[in-house]
Structure 1
Amino acid sequence: MPVIVLEARDFTSPLFLVRTWEVLSSCTTFSLVASLEPSELNQNSSHLQHLNTFRCFCMFNWCFFFTLTLLIHILNVIQFHSLIPLSWKNLTMTVAVLGALMCLSASVVFSWLVMDHQGVTPRSVTAVVVSCLAFLAYTTESYILRTQAHEQRGYMGSMPGLLKILQLWGSCLMIPLVVEMLFGLREVQFQQLLVSCVSYGICVLMSLVTVVVILGDFAGQCLLPFDRFLAGFSLIGVLFYMMATVICFTKILQLQKIIFTEQAKLVIMETVVASITLLAYTVDLAFSVKLLCDRSHL
């Protein structure tokens, strides 16, 4: 099969330019962070484990989306995306929206938690700025894909699809928080930690299963009708995140009596993310119930 390359005019299209922008900015960001000298990292800090957890989280995000975006960019140039057994329109929308959310999260986490311990240096500040540029690039691509025709943007470009991506973002962001609670902070009560871990773990699996089913076009192979499948996952997500959000606000009330700066930062972040994810599951459940009611009346 001959390799089909884009025409010359396609190399100046907004989508090609913005993906090039994403690759360059994400590559520059993790290169700057990786090149930080050991002296620039506060090795004598008593919160070194705390620093390493979130620094690895940020590095993983930048490296992962650089690699994924580069592959999408190359496949789009040589026009081989039709050979991939995935829904290309849903894949590109998912990567664009999730990349924007994760790059924004990495920028906030790195500047708020990591730089607080390793200190403010020219390279670290530049890395945060370039990471914000990567966020803008992914946001721009999301807008471009979102303004395409409905059949071109796929399910992930619809409001329910965007809510699924927001749920996946919330679940992914909870992973380093749970790791830090398990190995870093001893002030968290065991019962609260157990409920949080179970809730976030189940929601991570549900989000991954949902995204895989949509990207692989496996909806027709589900044992249950896909709309009921999504409604059930949304209901479970609402229940679990309701418990997690209540626990988060309980921790905030406990922090009024115990002044612990690092715990306060993590609890605030966990509460904000849990609340946003709970809202996403609630709205998604409303969409699913409305769809089921509309179909039952047909």
Structure 2
Amino acid sequence: MPVTVTRTTVTTTTTSSGLGSPTIVGSPRALTSKLGLLRLLQLLSTCVAFSLVVHVGAWVGVMGNWTMFAWCFCFAMTLVILLVEMAGLQPRFPLSWRNFPITYACYATLLCLSASIIYPTTYVQFMSHGRSRDHAIAATFFSCVACLAYATEVAWTRARPGEVTGYMATVPGLLKVLETFVACIIFAFISDPPIYQRHPALEWCLAVYCICFILSAVAIILSLGDCTGQLPIPFPTFLTGLAVLAVALYASALVLWPLYQFDDRRGGRARRREDSSCPYRHAYFVCDWDRRLTVAILTAVNFLAYVADLVHSAWLVFIRV
């Protein structure tokens, strides 16, 4: 797909040949521009979040590890982006700089959002009052700040109507990020085989999640690698076909997953209290019934995302005809 817009902050020089070809060089403006200041806020807020938690050891279990990973990963990747832009290394970066920063910012928004929800609900609320809890609450606050900062970057750098830019800056590209992220959360909640091995219909749902995740990930990788022109069919046509297939597959999972997980006649459990693993609310632990319900909700979220993706992708094909 044609791309002409790059929103990174660079300084241009003119070659001695007099042709005026732009050359990207390092510039402190990568830090002093509006986007650079926003990224400094992202860097600071994620650093403070995980530092507060590490200082008092306020993370335990899978959920705690997830929140720590989210903050540390976002801090590290934001630092890499700032260093690349300060040194003017965008042309040497192995991925398309037209697509990479906004793709990362979208993932970081979702990571910090999940950490801002999971950490207080599965850990902080069960802590006794004291210094550790105060640190944990402050870390949650800075996680929310980071989430807003990354979301602001996405809003600033996404494609506007009629603008020609990288695919990942468009609405379908951002939806691909959401689709893959939600699929990863689904995989985390169904990592226990007994949840889906009870019936072939549930195994089919797992196959749906895997197939759609792979297809969406391929679309993202092709865009980040600037390989969209190497497909045997036009990239917009490929995206539309992918969206049609994903909508059909997720529609089946949207029906089958809750039918076989919550219908008593099909071996499911309609009420939470019927699950022996969920007698009480407990910190750091998500019982099987809660996992099944979460997967059902996330299946509906991804179905709606793929429907919106299909509408936008079909429209892009239509306006090119």
TM range (shorter): 0.7 to 0.9
Question: CA 1:178–1:35 in structure 2 vs 1: closer, same or farther (change >3 Å)?
Answer: farther
The answer on whether the counterparts of 2:109 and 2:150 sit within 8 Å (CA) in structure 1 is: yes
Going from structure 1 to structure 2, the CA distance change for 1:188 and 1:16 (only over 3 Å counts) comes to same
Moved more, 211-220 or 169-178: 169-178
Instruction: Give the letter for the 1:161 counterpart.
Output: G
Residue from 36, 48, 58 that aligns with 1:28: 48
Equivalent of 1:190 in 193, 198, 204: 198
**Which residue is equivalent to 2:9?**
none
The residue aligned with 1:6 is 27
Instruction: Identify if the C-alpha distance between structure 1 residues 35 and 196 changes in structure 2 by more than 3 Å, giving closer, same or farther.
Output: farther
Instruction: Give distance in 1, aligned partners of 2:61 and 2:136.
Output: 15
- Report the Cα distance in structure 2 between the residues aligned to 1:95 and 1:206, rounded to whole angstroms: 19
Call closer, same or farther: CA 1:3–1:232 in 2, change over 3 Å: closer
For structure 2, which runs of at least 5 residues remain unmatched after alignment?
Answer: 1-22, 279-286
Paired amino acid for 1:156? M
Task: Specify the SS of the correspondent of 2:238.
Answer: helix
The whole-number CA distance in structure 1 between the counterparts of 2:24 and 2:178 is: 36
Closer, same or farther: CA 80–173 of 1 in aligned 2, 3 Å: same
1:60 maps to amino acid: F
- Paired residues for 1:88-237 under 5 Å: 88-115=97-124, 121-146=133-158, 150-151=163-164, 153-179=165-191, 181-182=192-193, 186=194, 190-191=198-199, 193-237=202-246
Q: Cα RMSD over matched residues?
A: 2.8
1:207-233 deviations in Å (ceiling 9; x for gaps): 221111011110111123212221222
Q: What is the alpha-carbon distance in structure 2 between the residues aligned to residue 198 and residue 118 of structure 1?
A: 39
Q: Per-residue deviation at 1:255?
A: 4.5
- d(CA) in 1 for partners of 2:311, 2:227: 23
> Which AA in structure 2 matches 1:175?
F
Query: Following the alignment from structure 1 to structure 2, what is the Cα–Cα distance between the partners of residues 204 and 249?
Result: 20
Match of 1:282 in 2: 307
Code of the residue aligned with 2:198 in structure 1: it is: F
Residues 172-215 of structure 1: CA deviation (Å, up to 9, x unaligned): 22232122x33xxx566622552333222222222221111011
- The one-letter code sitting in structure 1 at the alignment partner of 2:241 is G
Cα distance, 1:20 vs structure 2:
0.8
* 8 Å Cα contact 1:54-1:176 kept in structure 2: no
Higher mean displacement: 262-271 or 82-91? 262-271
Q: Which amino acid aligns with 2:163?
A: H
Superposition TM-score, scaled by structure 2 size: 0.76
User: Residue 53 of structure 1: CA displacement?
Assistant: 2.5
1:257 aligns with 2:271: yes
1:55 to 64, 67, 90: 64
CA contact (8 A) 1:53 1:176 kept: no
Please, which moves more after superposition, 214-223 or 85-94?
85-94
Relative to structure 1, the CA distance from residue 118 to residue 177 in structure 2 (aligned partners, 3 Å threshold; closer, same or farther) is farther
Structure 1 equivalent of residue 96 of structure 2: 87
Partner of 1:45: none
Identity percentage over the alignment? 30
| Alpha-carbon distance, 1:90 to partner | 1.1
* TM-score normalised to structure 1 length: 0.81
Higher fraction of helix: 1
Summarize the Cα distance change of 1:124–1:193 in structure 2 as closer, same or farther, 3 Å threshold. farther
Deviations 1:224-256 (A, max 9, x none): 321222122212322332233224433355553
Equivalent of residue 17 in structure 1, options 37, 40, 46 = 37
**What is the rounded CA distance, in whole Å, between the counterparts of 2:188 and 2:127 in structure 1?**
18
